[in-house]
Amino acid sequence: MPPVDYGQPMAETNKPVAVETVGENPTRLWGMTMPERVRRIARAAGFDASAGRENGPVILVNTAFAFDPAWLRQLAATPGAMLTLGGVPAIAHARNSNEAAAVRAAMQNGRGVTGASLDTTAFEDGPTVENKTLRKRETPFLMPLRPDTVRALERASYFGAYKGVTDLLTKYLWPQWALVLTRICARLGITPNMVTVVGAILCVAATFAFAEGRYWLGMAMGLGFMVLDTVDGKLARCTITSSRLGDVLDHGMDLVHPPFWWWFWAVGLSHWGLAYDDRTFALVMIAILGGYVVQRLIEGAFIKFYDGIHIHVWQRFDSQFRLITARRNPNMVILFVSMLFSRPDLGLIAVAWWTVISCAVHAVRLVQAMAYKARGNAVTSWLARG
């Protein structure tokens, strides 16, 4: 199947796209019935989830199935399109009342559509899409929603909310831990913002621990914060409860706290008798904090120059380098190793060097992209090229 792209907003018309659920299904996913889940997805995408329209286009959703929100956005962008599983329509964008009636009948009876000509995509054919927000290409999940499939669906929706291009710890170490915590939070009605606040408390506490030279305690609290930093985002995406405030809190904390961690790690060295002299302290901080700012500026420049494309998804190398580039989590791995040898001073110096190296790599990649474009080539994500 040809790749499709759901990375851009789909509701660009004056009248919001209408969304209607068809059928009844008492089985809940992440504590929500399918009609409630669909309403949340529709509202988040800017669609009209209040009711279907008697005339005109409408997106029909079969409550017998659960699906990744990407499918609703994709179908909304393609009037006359239909996604099926086992020949039964799961989601369809009917262009008029006649098509809508045919699709409703098929959904209610669990059979294929008759009496309407729709552009049908069978899920079994494995259509792939690019998710620009989460920086990955995939086939978003679609499965029957029954009591025996709930855990599999929760797992699919949880991992579907993961970025495909991220650091090695987030990608490989704690997805399973965060899945368990996400399920617990959803069952208890804990909101993403509550998780963010608890994480923020741990983040600040870790900063004070570093300043006092209590590195193991600080890293333990930092680990808790880093895991919760994953949980709040996944909980928001899985329960469709993202908010502007939560987004600001989460991303603001992510952006602001790393320099404080590295500064106070250096301050805490005095408690180990390993304090830097003034010159070394200044050089290490210039390298780490200056490199942190420069790297962020390079990333921002790439996004601005190349129509929103992240530097980490230009070519496959960039995505692979994102696993280890000098961000908080890889830096914490370096510091953890240094603590195994009781040399937190050397660990921070290693972080400084790795920050400089990572900054240089990103700078070179930005220059290479400029040269690539100057030769008449379009700078696009390798994920989009599928």
Mean pLDDT by groups of 10 residues along the chain of 386 residues: 37 68 94 93 84 74 94 90 95 93 94 89 86 68 96 91 80 89 92 93 97 98 94 91 76 88 98 97 97 95 92 94 95 98 98 97 97 94 74
Pairing state of beta strands 136-138 and 129-131?
antiparallel
Angstrom distance (rounded) from CA 48 to CA 56: 13
Residues of the chain with CATH 1.20.120.1760: 161-374
CA distance between the termini of the chain? 11
Cross-strand partners of 19: 59
Q: How many residues belong to the chain?
A: 386
Alpha-carbon distances, residue 174 vs 35, 181, 208 (angstroms): 32, 11, 24
Angstrom distance (rounded) from CA 351 to CA 335: 8
Would you state the pLDDT for residue 379? 92
Nearest residue to 65 via CA among 53, 75, 78, 52: 75
pTM of the entire predicted model = 0.81
Helices (H), the chain: 34-44, 69-76, 97-109, 150-160, 168, 175-188, 192-211, 215-238, 244-268, 278-285, 291-305, 316-322, 328-340, 344-374
Q: Is 279 exposed, middle or buried (0-12, 13-18, 19+ CB in 10 A)?
A: exposed
3, 70 contact by CB (below 8 A): no
Would you state the pLDDT for residue 287? 97
Instruction: Tell the residue number behind the tokens 């696009």, with chain if given.
Output: 380
Would you state the pLDDT for residue 290? 96
Q: CA 146, 151, 155, 158: dihedral to nearest 10 degrees?
A: 80
Handedness of CA 117, 118, 123, 128 (dihedral sign): positive
88, 111 contact by CB (below 8 A): yes
The CATH superfamily assigned to 161-374 is CDP-alcohol phosphotransferase transmembrane (TM) domain (1.20.120.1760)
Alpha-carbon distances, residue 220 vs 226, 333, 384 (angstroms): 10, 12, 38
Cα 311 → chain centroid = 16
Would you state the pLDDT for residue 54? 61
Handedness of CA 312, 313, 315, 316 (dihedral sign): positive
Q: Is 53 exposed, middle or buried (0-12, 13-18, 19+ CB in 10 A)?
A: middle
Question: For the chain, what is the largest distance between any 2 Cα atoms, rounded to a whole number of angstroms?
Answer: 81
Would you state the pLDDT for residue 11? 39
Would you state the pLDDT for residue 7? 38
Would you state the pLDDT for residue 359? 96
Angstrom distance (rounded) from CA 287 to CA 117: 62
Residues in CB range of 7: below 8 A, 6 or more apart: 130, 131, 132, 133
Instruction: Tell the residue number behind the tokens 């953890």, with chain if given.
Output: 336
Would you state the pLDDT for residue 48? 79
Angstrom distance (rounded) from CA 168 to CA 277: 33
Cα 386 → chain centroid = 19
318, 312 contact by CB (below 8 A): yes
